[in-house]
Structure formats: structure tokens, C-alpha cells
């Protein structure tokens, strides 16, 4: 996918006052000084989900490079007007590499990057790049294909409960990848989706899990942060999948496996590149093969044939023989939208806004 | 469990869990407000109760002790609020909001080591014989201790306010502190006690979140429930029984809209999620039509600073 | 025991000294907090109070952050004086952002001078419309505005979420939840180029002055003040209770709506799922910190804004977790609020207890 041209507003001003003085450039950093790496987080480090995993990645940088780096993070930065100031302050206080870890930071990141050409920026999950702005994201949908396969084989009620956060392409893509994989092994299985309109609210996530179980789901999966749905699954004697971390501590019996966000290798690699002076603007979208999407040990309730099937999907994705969005793919009406032998490209996946066959309900347009 | 009635029971069980923290926080705040004190710091007190009770269960494994610790944590926060607003006479509205900022920070600080710690949740207590009854048994007699406590607390508070002398004193302090003062009641002391009771209840509501509803600690896990509890007190027109109704109505609509999504109702989820808030407004409008009731129950001196003239 | 002795008259001196004393006490308490956490105290205070505003950009950011707080708090303080509890300014702000932003998107093809004024009008109208609901319900069926305005805030934020996930999202934005970026004609002029300080900041000061004149120099202001102390007496001023409710809510709604529009047309430049970090709620604290006086609100807004900037900077400069900055901010507010007791009372230590 080609870079999207940037629309940057040149603002009128009533007073032109020492524009040059207003922009302070970062101090010249000598070779011996540690590289300062900054992180901007959308949630608190203690969310046990998305932000928590990014912070594990930050700690990995510290462990890897010791006193060659210094890391800084700012938590719970709202995705409105505040983000630009925080990013800018990181840039102006001598940080050489800045990770902005939520989609809503895209425009502020790009804007600040223009003012600080010597600072390297890494924006997670966005699509706007510049000479000093890279984007990165993980192909979590590959993990969804693996767990979709497992769910399709293991469901007895043919109903999977899916707790979703917000109707953005990332989440819709995960639901579809899950459904396609599930339908391959079990054409009768269906997914019920409940949107909770929050990334984390343990109580509400638990309510949604109970609702789905009451409606007949015997496997729960989630695209929200907290272990609450898995806890409910454990209590109610159904099965489920973890999110972002290994959540087996919360559901030793119920967790079949989990999709782990592992940013450590990428963060280390990019930090190394800045240290070596080889950093370039790239668009990274990695999956299972690189380890960015990982899995813990299977839970005690996964039968051997399911393990084998899951491994097959995983290996197929890694060696490229299998793609979660290989045709034939049908839409919800049962009409074919991707023919056999074809494969959806990254551009379509990036903006995905429709459901495929096997998902109940409809997406707002 | 099969059939229509058991689906009703299942939904009701989810509603009960969702409503219980609201019941605790709202009934406590109701008592506080009836004494004339408006404490907007419910959210902050809930979070402190949640984190300290979870810390205690993690360290000691004693559920009863942990609940007490949660109550105590909420009371300490309420004491701070009381000192600022009752002794130093700072603005109640602003101090309550600041208490929420403070409590959010304190809970996050204390909870740093508790992320990822698991706890299986408060045990369910089946009442012998009664819990065996069809429908009624699972609906009413197979809950954790706190659900039963919430059901006892509401009538207890109602009787206290309406039928006891201390309750009468508390209400008169809330209606007119000057008149109560003239009658020789110790306005500030009564308000301290009512504020502490509110804090304890909020702390217990928080403990319910981290020990029963979703047994874990994550930052900000109350997710705005303290604000809903505040709204429910107004909704209930400061009457305890209506707090229970309001909390179950709010919880009920929330769960029903989840069920609506599950069965595939074709309405955007954001609009479905508005339903509990809109319903609360509509029902409040209906309740407000009976102006006599509002006048009889609303504490006239709410939020006002008591400055003894002598 | 600490005893409070009422002063015969409120102390003018303490009116000015109280915030200074509060700051001093915050320093002492902060010293303890930071000592426990092992943070060097000097650096902590430098990071918190000085560094954020040590350059022109930082000062401009203080204005960016304080402007919506001041604008909303100045309006809120009128209503709070009158005993009208609009705590849903956040929702009114969001509606202002939605309506003003929708105009910007509707005129996406038009780069004309009238777009921005039209957006401002739409923002004001949106905020007023949202505030009109609690006003209507209060004046017709006497439904308590605390509940209605708060509930409508949740509805507003879900409405915004629905719109940016659907109808208003950027058609070229890969279906991500945000609108197109507004073009130049739909973006606020800057006061200080090279920074983000936009005309919302001077307008916020004007709003505060307007509110002050209104409150202290007009019959309406007199009626509002009387209504807070003795609602029955307010009738003799010629204004009915209903009129005061309508005025307070609509005025706050208008200002919150305009503040919301300024956020989306200023520092954000588009519609996002989140356009405010809770300005409508924080403004309530600001109103009281400013002692419900529109001019006091200006200073309170600046202090509050600084405490947020300081919190961010302390995380960056000292690796201090957000939790600590929250605790510290809470303490600062407690001291500021509590110190006002000195205006009306002298503190006496020991003896003379009375039942």
C-alpha cells in the first residue's frame, strides 16, 4: 500500500510573533549520552491489556540495552488535543525515538514529526507515514484464524460469543478471520457479537460474557482488554480465549489459548536501528511468523486433534501456504465475495467494514 | 436449566450482579445527602475500597477481613472529605470532585503490584431448603453474601430514616441545619457520621467490584459506576426503596440491550448503549410528576455550608 | 483541638493570601509524598510547576488547556450561584463539537470566510440545544437537572462515537473512526504562530469578563445571586425561577458548545471519538476554586491547567507514574479549597471547647 499523502493545515495567524523562537529544537546529543526512548500510552499501565503489553515492550528495551538507553512513558493520554503536546514535549526533551501506541495519535504524531525532523517516530496501527515516521501493527487476525479453528472444532452448541469493543476495521477484521476459519472446520457454527463500546470495563465485559453464555454460547472470545470474560467462562464451565496476555491465571481450565501481543522484538529492533544509525521509515505489519503475535501453552481442555489442527493453521500461516483471508469467502447473505484461489490484499483488510458469513447481526454503515 | 422461565432467571442473575455495586454506593450516598451533604467523590471512594479490599484478599486470603478493609478505606476517604467540607467548610461539590481525582491516583498507586493477580471471587452461599425451590431458589437464594447484605441494607436504611429518632435527627439536619442547630442537635457531628456511612458503603461497593463482580484489580475498574450511583440517588428522590428499583432498572436495561445485540437487533450498538441513560431520564420525568413526593423527600439544605452563628 | 473562630467580616487580605498559603502547604505535603517515593523534591517541583511553562510554547499550551476550562467555568459559576446544578457541561461541549464539526464537514468543498462563523454558531446552538433538555424538564415537570444533565453527557459521548464510527467518518480514512481533517477556512486562527494558542483563549477571557459584568452589574445577575440564597425572594427581582433556570442552562450550554467547537476546530482539527479529556467536569472544580467569581475562575483555570501540564511533565522528566501526579493534584486541590476557610475564620488552637 502506498503512502497516503498528508493533509497538513497551514494556519492563519493574527499575530506573527517570534515563530522561530517558539520552536525549541532538541539539544544536540553527544554519542555517549544514552538514547532516550519515549512512549505515549492511551490507557493506564495497569490495564492488564493493550497498554500493559506495550509497557512490557518498553521494559524489554531497558533490559536489552541497559544504560545505553533511557525510557520514558506518559500514561492515559487522551486522544484529543493533549496528545500533540505530550508527543511534542517528549520530542523537545531530547528523546530520539518515540512510540505513540494508539490509532488516535496518528495526526498529532505526524504533525510533531514535521517540526522535529531529527527525531524518529513510530506510530502503532495508523497509516500515515513520513521520512521520520514509521507505522507498525500486528496481524492479530492471524491469531484469530488459529483460535477460530479451535472454536469451530470444539463448540457443541455451534454458538460462539464474541465480545467486541468498537466497530473499527481492526476488530471487524478479527471477527471475520475468526469466522472464516471456524466455518472451514464447522459450517454450522455461528458467531454472536456484542459491542460493549469500551476497551476495558471488567464489569461490563463480564456482563457481556454472561449474556452470550445465556444465549447459548459455549465458547467466549474477546477483543477487549480485561480477563473478566474468561473468569466468567471459568465460573460457568464454558471455554474461552485470552487477549493480549496469557490469562490462564484467571481461568486455568477455561483458557484454551490466548493471542499474545508481543512488541518486545520489534521495539528492541527499532531501538537498535536508531543506535546504529540505520533507522528508516517503514510500514511494518507482522504476524505469527515474527513472533509479534504469540500463543501461550494450550490449556488442559484442548484435545489433541484440535491442537494438531491449530498447529496446522499456524504453520500454514507462517510458511505462507495459508492466509486467513483466502477465498472462497462469502458475505452474510451467502454470496461469494472472494473466489477460490484469490486472497484479500492488505488494503482491503486495513479498511474492512463488513461482516462475512457466519457472523450474526449487522455492522452500522 | 431450560425453558422460558430459566432464561428469565439467567438474565435476572446478571442484572443482580450488575446492580449490587450501584445499590451499595447509592444507598450510602443517599444517607449522606439526607444529612445535607453532597459528596461527589463516590467514584474515588469506590476505587479505594476496591483496591484495598483486593490487596487484603491477596495478602491474607480472608474475605471477611477484606470486605471490612474495603469499607474502612472508603471511610478514610470520606473522613478526609468530611474534614475539608464540614470542619474547614470547603465547597462540597469541588471537594468531592477532587476526592475522585485523589482516589483514582491512590488506588492506581496501591494497585501497581496487583495487576495480573487472580482471585476466584466471593463464594456463593446457598440458603438451605429455599435455594432448592424452582425459579425462586436460584433467583433469590444462591448469591454471595454481599447481595443478601444489599437486600437487607436498603430496608434497614429505610426504617432507620423513617422510624427511628436518630433517623429523624439526620433528616432534620439535612432539611434545615439552622433549625436543627437551634433544637440542640450537633449538626456537624451528624453530618460526619452520615458522610462516613456513605464512604463505607462506597468502599463496600468497590470491594464488590474487585471481589465478586469481576474479581481482579485493574486501574479505574469502577468505570463511572460512582457517577451512576449519584444519579440514582436523585432518581430515587432520596427514598431508599427507589434506590433499589433504580439500580435494578439501570442494570436491567443495560443487560437487556446486551441481549438485544446478542439476538441481532439491527440498531447500532452505540444507540443501544444509550438506552439505560435515556430510560433513567424518562422514568425520572414520570416520578417528578408527583411533586409532593419530591418536596417531602429532597433534603432542602443539601450542599450548603453550615456556619453556626453563635 | 483546632477551633474555628468566625471573623466579624470576611478578611480581604486572606482572600488573596489563602491561595499562597495553600501552595505552601502543598509544598510541605508534596515534600512528604515525594520523600516517601524517593523523588528529589527540588526536581519534582521544578518539573511540576516550572518546566511546563518555561518557554513560549509551554505558556501557549497553558492557554490552550485553560481556555475551555475558563470559558465553561465562568458560565457555570453563574448557574451555581443561583443554585442550578448543571453538571452536564461535558455533554454540552461534545454536542457543540459535533454540530460545529458537522458544519465544517458539510462545507468541506467550500473555503469561504463564512464557514468558521457558521461553525461557531452551530457549536453554540448544539450546546444550547443539549442544555435545553434539562432546562425544559426542570421547568415543566421539575425533573432534577443533576440527573438529566449527567445522563445526557453519556448519551452525547455515545452519539459522538456513533457519528465518527459511521456517518461522519473520513471517506478516505480506511474506515478508521475519525472525520476528515478540517481545511484552513474551518480552522481557528492562531494568536501566536508557532504555537497552538488560538483565538479561543482571548475569547475565554472575554466570556469571563462578560459573566462578571452580568453577575455584578445587571438585574439578571442580582436575581441569580438572590436565587441561590433565597429562591422565594428572587421573584421580587422580576425574574421567575423558570427564567433563571433557562438562562443558566442555556448560557452554560452555549459556552460549553463553543468551547467544544474550539477544541475540534483548534488543536484537534477534526472530529475524533474523544474530543475532551473531561473539561466539562473539571470546569466544575475550576468554578469553585475561583469562588464562583468569573474573574477568580480565570486564575483557577490557569492553576488547574498547570496542574495537568505539570502532571504530564513529571511523567516525562522524572518517570513519575500518572498515579502519583493524580495524588499530588488531588492534594493541591484539597489545600486550595480548604485554605478559603481562612477568609471567614481565624484558626485557634486548643482550649475553649463548647458543645
Counting Cα atoms < 13 Å in the Cβ hemisphere of B265 gives 15
C2 vs C267, more confident? C267
Can you give the residue range of the structural domain that contains B139?
Answer: 3-297
Please state, in angstroms and as integers, the Cα–Cα distance from residue C86 to each residue in A124, B171, C80, C81, C245, following that order. 39, 25, 8, 11, 10
The answer on pLDDT for C355 being more than 50 is no
Tens digit of each residue's pLDDT (9 = 90 or more) over C300-337: 999 999 999 999 999 999 888 889 888 999 999 999 99
Which three cell numbers mark A177?
Answer: 478471520
Which three cell numbers mark C130?
Answer: 443539549
B133 vs A24, more confident? B133
B partners (3+ CB pairs within 8 A) are A, C
Nearest chain A Cα distance for residue B66, angstroms: 19
**Per-residue pLDDT at A363:** 82
Nearest chain B Cα distance for residue A222, angstroms: 14
Of C137, C139, C132, the C-alpha closest to C147 is C137
**How far apart are the C-alpha atoms of C252 and C245, rounded to whole Å?**
11
Q: Which of chain C's residues have a Cβ under 8 Å away from the Cβ of A17? A: 192-194
Whether B78 and B140 have beta carbons less than 8 Å apart is answered as no
Q: Which of chain C's residues have a Cβ under 8 Å away from the Cβ of B291? A: 142
The answer on pLDDT for B288 being more than 90 is no
For the beta sheet containing A293-294, the strands, ordered from the edge strand earlier in sequence to the opposite edge, are A190-195, A159-164, A219-222, A239-244, A255-261, A293-294
C partners (3+ CB pairs within 8 A) are A, B
**How far apart are the C-alpha atoms of C37 and C256, rounded to whole Å?**
39
**Per-residue pLDDT at C345:** 82
| Count of Cβ atoms closer than 10 Å to residue B226 Cβ | 26
Whether C140 and B291 have beta carbons less than 8 Å apart is answered as no
CB contact under 8 A, A207 and B10: no
Counting Cα atoms < 13 Å in the Cβ hemisphere of A199 gives 18
CB contact under 8 A, C273 and A24: no
A31 vs C124, more confident? C124
Q: Which of chain A's residues have a Cβ under 8 Å away from the Cβ of C165? A: 166-168, 364
Number of domains in chain B: 1
Residue B303 within a domain: no
Whether C257 and C92 have beta carbons less than 8 Å apart is answered as yes
Residues in A whose CB is inside 8 Å of some CB of B read: 43-48, 52, 161, 167, 192-198, 200-208, 210-212, 214-215, 225-228, 231, 235, 245, 249-250, 360-362, 364
Of A67, A78, A71, the C-alpha closest to A32 is A67
* 3-state class (DSSP) for residue C217: helix
Return the top range by mean pLDDT from A197-206, B287-296, C13-22, C335-344: A197-206
Whether A244 and A261 have beta carbons less than 8 Å apart is answered as yes
B238 backbone dihedrals φ, ψ, rounded to 5°: 60, 30
CB contact under 8 A, B214 and A205: yes
Q: Find the CB nearest B289 among C141, C323, C324.
A: C141
The region of weakest confidence among A233-237, C5-9, C16-20 is C5-9
Whether A134 and A270 have beta carbons less than 8 Å apart is answered as yes
**Per-residue pLDDT at A327:** 87
Counting Cα atoms < 13 Å in the Cβ hemisphere of B190 gives 26
Q: Which of chain C's residues have a Cβ under 8 Å away from the Cβ of A112? A: none
Q: Which of chain B's residues have a Cβ under 8 Å away from the Cβ of A200? A: 218, 223
- What average pLDDT does range A124-143 have in this prediction? 96
Whether C322 and A75 have beta carbons less than 8 Å apart is answered as yes
How does residue B2 score in pLDDT terms, banded at 50, 70 and 90?
very low
Domains for chain A: give ranges and CATH numbers. 23-138 (3.40.50.2300), 140-261+293-350 (3.40.50.2300)
CB contact under 8 A, B285 and C141: yes
The answer on pLDDT for A210 being more than 60 is yes
Q: What angle do CA B77, B79, B81 make, to 5 degrees?
A: 75
- As a whole number of Å, the CA-based R_g of chain C is 22
Tens digit of each residue's pLDDT (9 = 90 or more) over C193-238: 889 999 999 999 999 999 999 999 999 999 998 888 777 777 778 8
**Per-residue pLDDT at B293:** 77
Contacts of B211 (CB under 8 A, 6+ apart): B53, B54, B57, B63, B66, B67, B70, B119, B121, B122
Residue B132 within a domain: yes
Which helix (H) or strand (E) segment is C3 a member of?
strand C2-6
* Chain centroid to CA B285: 22
Nearest chain C Cα distance for residue A307, angstroms: 35
Q: Find the CB nearest B219 among A44, A235, A362.
A: A44
CB contact under 8 A, C330 and B284: no
**Per-residue pLDDT at C1:** 57
Please state, in angstroms and as integers, the Cα–Cα distance from residue C152 to each residue in A61, B52, B249, B272, C159, following that order. 44, 32, 17, 14, 10
Domain boundaries, chain C: 57-297
Which three cell numbers mark C236?
Answer: 421580587
Q: Which of chain B's residues have a Cβ under 8 Å away from the Cβ of A196? A: 258
Whether A219 and A161 have beta carbons less than 8 Å apart is answered as yes
Residue A89 at interface with chain C, using a CB cutoff of 8 Å: yes
How does residue A328 score in pLDDT terms, banded at 50, 70 and 90?
very high
Q: Using the 8-state DSSP alphabet, how is residue B61 labeled? A: -
- What average pLDDT does range C338-352 have in this prediction? 76
Which three cell numbers mark A118?
Answer: 531529527
Which of A209, A211, A237 is the best substitution to test chain B (most B C-beta atoms within 10 A)?
A211
| Owner of C-alpha cell 475498574 | B221
Average of per-residue pLDDT values in chain C: 91
B129 vs B82, more confident? B82
How would you classify residue C328: left for phi > 0, otherwise alpha for psi between -120 and 50, otherwise beta? alpha
Q: Using the 8-state DSSP alphabet, how is residue C144 labeled? A: -
Tens digit of each residue's pLDDT (9 = 90 or more) over A37-63: 999 999 999 888 999 999 999 999 999
Tens digit of each residue's pLDDT (9 = 90 or more) over B168-226: 999 999 998 888 998 889 999 999 999 999 999 999 999 999 999 999 999 999 999 99
The answer on pLDDT for A19 being more than 90 is no
C8 vs B236, more confident? B236
How would you classify residue B184: left for phi > 0, otherwise alpha for psi between -120 and 50, otherwise beta? left
Question: Residue A95's beta-bridge partner residues?
Answer: A36
Residue B309 within a domain: no
Residue B102 within a domain: yes
Surface of A (44-73) touching C: CB under 8 A: 44-45, 72-73
- What average pLDDT does range B152-165 have in this prediction? 96
**Per-residue pLDDT at B1:** 42
Tens digit of each residue's pLDDT (9 = 90 or more) over C228-279: 877 777 777 888 889 999 999 999 999 999 999 999 999 999 999 999 999 9
Percent of chain B whose pLDDT exceeds 70: 97
Residue B105, domain CATH: 1.10.3470
Residue B124 within a domain: yes
Nearest chain B Cα distance for residue A263, angstroms: 18
The answer on pLDDT for A4 being more than 60 is no
CB contact under 8 A, A107 and C166: no
**Per-residue pLDDT at A30:** 52
**Per-residue pLDDT at C349:** 72
Q: Which of chain C's residues have a Cβ under 8 Å away from the Cβ of A82? A: 65, 277, 308, 312
| Count of Cβ atoms closer than 10 Å to residue A247 Cβ | 29
CB contact under 8 A, B262 and A211: yes
Amino acid at each position: 500500500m502506498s503512502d497516503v499523502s498528508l493533509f497538513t493545515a497551514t494556519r492563519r495567524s493574527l499575530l506573527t510573533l517570534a515563530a522561530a523562537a517558539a520552536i525549541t529544537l532538541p539539544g544536540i546529543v553527544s554519542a555517549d549520552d544514552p538514547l532516550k526512548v519515549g512512549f505515549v500510552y492511551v490507557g493506564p499501565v495497569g490495564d492488564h491489556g493493550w497498554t500493559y503489553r506495550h509497557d512490557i515492550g518498553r521494559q524489554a528495551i531497558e533490559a536489552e540495552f541497559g544504560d545505553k538507553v533511557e525510557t520514558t512513558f506518559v500514561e492515559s493520554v487522551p486522544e484529543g488535543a493533549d496528545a500533540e503536546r505530550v508527543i511534542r514535549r517528549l520530542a523537545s526533551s531530547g528523546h530520539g525515538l518515540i512510540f505513540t501506541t494508539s490509532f488516535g495519535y496518528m495526526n498529532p504524531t505526524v504533525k510533531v514529526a514535521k517540526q522535529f525532523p531529527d527525531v524518529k517516530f513510530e506510530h502503532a496501527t495508523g497509516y500515515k507515514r513520513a521520512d521520520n515516521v514509521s507505522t507498525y501493527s500486528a496481524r492479530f487476525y492471524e491469531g484469530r484464524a488459529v483460535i477460530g479453528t479451535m472454536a469451530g472444532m470444539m463448540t457443541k452448541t455451534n454458538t460462539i460469543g464474541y465480545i467486541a469493543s468498537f466497530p473499527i476495521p481492526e476488530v471487524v477484521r478479527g471477527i471475520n478471520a475468526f469466522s472464516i476459519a471456524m466455518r472451514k472446520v464447522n459450517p454450522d457454527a455461528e458467531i454472536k457479537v456484542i459491542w460493549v463500546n469500551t476497551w476495558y470495563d471488567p464489569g461490563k465485559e463480564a456482563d457481556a460474557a454472561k449474556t452470550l453464555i445465556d444465549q447459548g454460547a459455549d465458547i467466549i472470545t474477546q477483543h477487549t482488554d480485561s480477563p473478566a470474560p474468561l473468569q466468567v467462562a471459568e465460573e460457568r464451565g464454558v471455554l474461552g480465549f485470552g487477549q493480549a496476555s496469557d490469562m490462564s491465571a484467571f481461568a486455568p481450565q477455561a483458557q484454551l489459548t490466548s493471542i499474545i501481543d508481543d512488541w518486545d522484538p520489534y521495539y528492541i529492533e527499532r531501538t537498535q536501528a536508531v543506535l546504529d544509525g540505520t533507522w528508516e521509515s517503514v510500514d511494518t505489519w507482522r504476524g505469527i511468523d515474527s513472533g509479534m503475535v504469540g500463543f501461550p501453552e494450550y490449556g488442559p481442555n484442548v484435545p489433541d486433534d484440535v491442537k494438531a489442527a491449530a498447529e496446522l493453521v499456524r504453520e500454514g500461516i507462517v510458511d505462507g501456504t495459508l492466509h486467513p483471508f483466502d477465498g472462497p469467502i462469502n458475505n452474510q447473505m451467502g454470496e461469494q465475495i472472494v473466489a477460490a484461489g484469490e486472497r484479500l490484499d492488505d488494503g482491503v483488510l486495513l479498511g474492512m467494514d463488513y461482516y462475512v458469513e457466519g457472523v450474526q447481526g449487522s455492522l452500522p454503515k | 436449566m431450560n425453558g422460558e422461565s430459566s432464561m428469565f432467571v439467567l438474565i435476572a442473575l446478571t442484572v443482580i450482579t450488575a446492580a449490587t455495586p450501584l445499590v451499595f454506593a447509592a444507598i450510602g450516598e443517599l444517607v449522606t445527602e439526607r444529612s445535607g451533604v453532597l459528596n461527589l467523590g463516590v467514584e474515588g471512594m469506590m476505587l479505594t475500597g476496591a483496591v484495598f479490599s483486593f490487596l487484603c484478599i491477596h495478602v491474607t486470603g480472608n474475605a471477611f477481613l477484606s470486605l471490612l478493609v474495603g469499607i474502612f478505606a472508603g471511610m478514610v476517604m470520606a473522613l478526609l472529605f468530611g474534614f475539608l467540607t464540614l470542619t474547614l467548610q470547603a465547597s462540597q461539590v469541588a471537594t468531592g470532585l477532587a476526592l475522585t481525582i485523589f482516589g483514582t491516583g491512590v488506588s492506581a498507586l496501591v494497585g501497581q503490584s496487583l495487576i495480573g493477580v487472580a482471585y476466584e471471587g466471593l463464594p456463593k452461599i446457598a440458603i438451605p431448603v429455599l435455594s432448592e425451590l424452582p425459579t425462586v431458589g436460584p433467583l433469590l437464594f444462591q448469591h454471595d453474601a454481599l447481595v443478601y447484605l444489599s437486600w437487607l441494607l436498603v430496608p434497614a436504611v429505610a426504617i432507620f430514616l423513617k422510624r427511628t429518632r436518630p433517623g429523624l435527627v439526620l433528616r432534620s439536619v439535612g432539611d434545615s441545619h439552622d433549625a436543627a442547630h437551634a433544637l440542640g442537635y450537633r449538626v456537624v457531628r451528624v453530618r460526619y457520621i452520615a458522610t462516613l456511612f456513605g464512604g463505607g458503603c462506597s468502599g463496600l461497593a468497590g470491594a464488590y467490584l474487585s471481589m465478586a463482580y469481576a474479581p481482579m484489580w485493574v486501574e479505574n475498574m469502577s468505570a463511572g459506576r460512582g457517577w451512576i450511583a449519584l444519579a440514582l440517588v436523585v432518581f430515587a428522590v432520596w427514598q431508599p426503596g427507589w434506590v433499589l428499583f433504580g439500580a435494578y432498572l439501570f442494570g436491567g436495561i443495560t443487560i437487556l440491550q446486551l441481549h438485544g445485540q446478542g439476538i441481532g437487533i439491527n440498531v447500532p450498538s452505540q444507540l443501544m448503549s444509550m438506552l439505560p441513560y435515556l430510560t433513567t431520564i424518562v422514568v425520572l420525568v414520570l416520578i417528578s410528576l408527583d411533586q409532593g413526593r419530591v418536596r417531602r423527600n429532597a433534603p432542602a439544605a443539601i450542599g450548603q455550608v453550615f456556619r453556626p452563628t453563635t | 483541638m483546632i477551633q474555628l473562630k468566625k471573623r466579624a467580616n470576611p478578611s480581604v487580605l486572606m482572600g488573596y493570601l489563602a491561595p499562597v498559603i495553600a501552595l505552601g502547604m502543598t509544598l510541605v505535603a508534596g515534600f512528604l509524598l515525594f520523600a516517601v517515593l524517593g523523588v528529589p523534591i527540588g526536581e519534582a517541583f521544578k518539573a511540576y510547576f516550572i518546566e511546563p511553562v518555561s518557554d513560549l510554547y509551554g505558556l501557549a499550551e497553558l492557554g490552550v488547556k485553560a481556555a475551555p476550562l475558563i470559558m465553561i467555568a465562568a458560565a457555570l459559576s453563574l448557574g451555581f450561584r443561583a443554585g442550578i446544578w448543571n453538571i452536564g457541561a461535558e455533554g454540552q461541549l461534545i454536542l457543540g463539537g459535533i454540530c460545529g464539526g458537522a458544519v465544517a464537514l458539510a462545507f468541506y468543498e467550500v473555503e469561504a470566510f463564512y464557514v468558521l462563523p457558521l461553525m461557531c454558531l452551530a457549536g453554540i446552538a448544539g450546546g444550547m440545544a443539549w442544555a435545553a433538555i434539562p432546562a425544559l424538564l426542570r421547568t415543566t415537570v421539575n425533573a432534577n437537572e443533576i440527573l438529566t444533565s449527567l445522563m445526557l453527557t453519556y448519551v452525547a459521548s455515545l452519539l459522538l462515537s456513533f457519528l465518527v464510527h459511521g456517518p461522519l467518518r473520513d471517506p478516505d480514512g480506511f474506515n478508521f473512526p475519525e472525520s476528515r481533517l478540517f481545511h484552513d477556512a474551518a480552522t481557528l486562527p492562531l494568536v501566536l504562530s508557532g504555537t497552538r494558542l488560538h483565538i479561543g483563549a482571548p475569547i475565554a477571557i472575554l466570556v469571563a469578563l462578560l459573566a462578571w459584568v452580568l453577575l455584578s452589574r445587571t438585574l439578571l445577575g442580582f436575581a441569580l445571586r438572590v436565587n441561590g440564597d433565597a429562591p422565594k425572594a428572587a421573584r421580587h427581582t422580576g425574574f421567575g425561577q423558570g427564567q433563571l433556570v433557562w438562562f443558566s442552562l442555556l448560557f452554560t450550554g452555549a459556552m460549553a458548545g463553543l468551547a467544544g467547537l474550539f477544541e475540534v476546530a483548534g488543536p484537534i482539527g477534526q472530529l475524533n471519538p474523544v474530543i475532551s479529556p473531561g473539561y466539562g467536569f473539571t470546569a466544575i472544580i475550576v468554578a469553585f476554586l475561583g469562588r464562583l467569581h468569573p474573574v477568580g475562575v480565570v486564575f483557577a483555570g490557569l492553576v488547574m491547567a498547570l496542574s495537568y501540564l505539570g502532571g504530564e511533565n513529571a511523567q516525562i522528566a522524572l518517570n513519575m507514574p500518572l498515579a502519583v501526579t493524580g495524588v499530588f493534584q488531588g492534594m493541591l486541590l484539597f489545600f486550595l479549597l480548604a485554605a478559603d476557610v481562612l477568609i471567614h475564620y481565624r484558626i485557634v488552637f486548643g482550649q475553649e471547647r463548647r458543645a
